[in-house]
Amino acid sequence: MPSKPRPLPIPVEDFIRDAKTIAVASGKTLPASFESFLRFAHTFPVILNKKGGVNPDEATSKEQIVIYLTNLLRQYFATRDHRITLKDVSTVSDSAVDVVLEAFGGVDIKLLPTYVEFHRKSMAAENKVGELLELYIAQRLESLGWFWCCCNMAKGVDFFYPADARTGQRTVLLQVKNRSNSENSSSQRIRELLALSGSPEITKWYRCHSKDGSTHWEEFPLSVGTSLSEEGFREFIRNYSKTIK
């Protein structure tokens, strides 16, 4: 069992003030939803991934925290400005695949180059679906108070929704997957660490089932599934592609 995580070595207001100062120095403004996430992370720093060589839950000085925040904010704003594009798969195709297609699949040898080319394009597209899915959710839900934990800032968490004492709403830590799959060891470890800290558990949601292709937008937390849909996601992809041509 892992040991109980350590708290950050600076007060929460200093943590937020430093983040705002760094953002302003970069010509940016720290979103209110980001501030809410940082306040949560100050209480449970184990959720934060290493940035600039600094693990926040192992930091022992304010200087280390400033280094961490500087790198975190730089990556955050860079991710927000990044445009997703479809690039060819960089690896070389295995020539044995051609033989398998011909021998087992009955593919005409003259058509093999076409099959391989479309397979590579399909692989490249599949690699982008997850990115587009998170961007779609962010654009639909950020106005509702959700925060997108982009640039791999949080362990096992892609979206954050803050607690609200007035309504009784609890904090939501959400892991988004494009397709159903089993949990990996790193996700299991962060769950154990968060439990030691007294943090809320991570909720898992996936878009479609790998066995039958059924989608699960209606199961998105906080009943916001009506703001999200498979039709909306596909339309978002088409419209987004037009903005980068």
Q: What is the pLDDT of residues 89-145, one digit of tens each?
A: 677 778 888 888 888 888 888 888 888 778 777 777 788 999 999 999 999 999 999
Tokens of 203: 């909720």
List beta partners, residue 148.
159
| Cα distance between residue 45 and residue 129, in whole Å | 30
Torsion-angle region of 200 (φ positive above 0: left; ψ -120 to 50: alpha; else: beta)? beta
| Cα distance between residue 53 and residue 50, in whole Å | 6
Predicted structure pTM score: 0.88
Q: pLDDT tens digits for 190-243? A: 888 888 878 889 999 999 998 898 999 999 998 765 689 999 999 999 999 998
Average pLDDT score over residue span 161-165: 91
Q: pLDDT tens digits for 171-184? A: 999 999 999 875 56
Which range of 55-64, 80-89, 92-101, 186-195 scores highest in mean pLDDT? It is 55-64
| Cα distance between residue 174 and residue 181, in whole Å | 15
| Cα distance between residue 150 and residue 82, in whole Å | 11
| Cα distance between residue 113 and residue 104, in whole Å | 16
pLDDT value of residue 140: 94
| Cα distance between residue 175 and residue 220, in whole Å | 11
Average pLDDT score over residue span 14-22: 98
pLDDT value of residue 117: 79
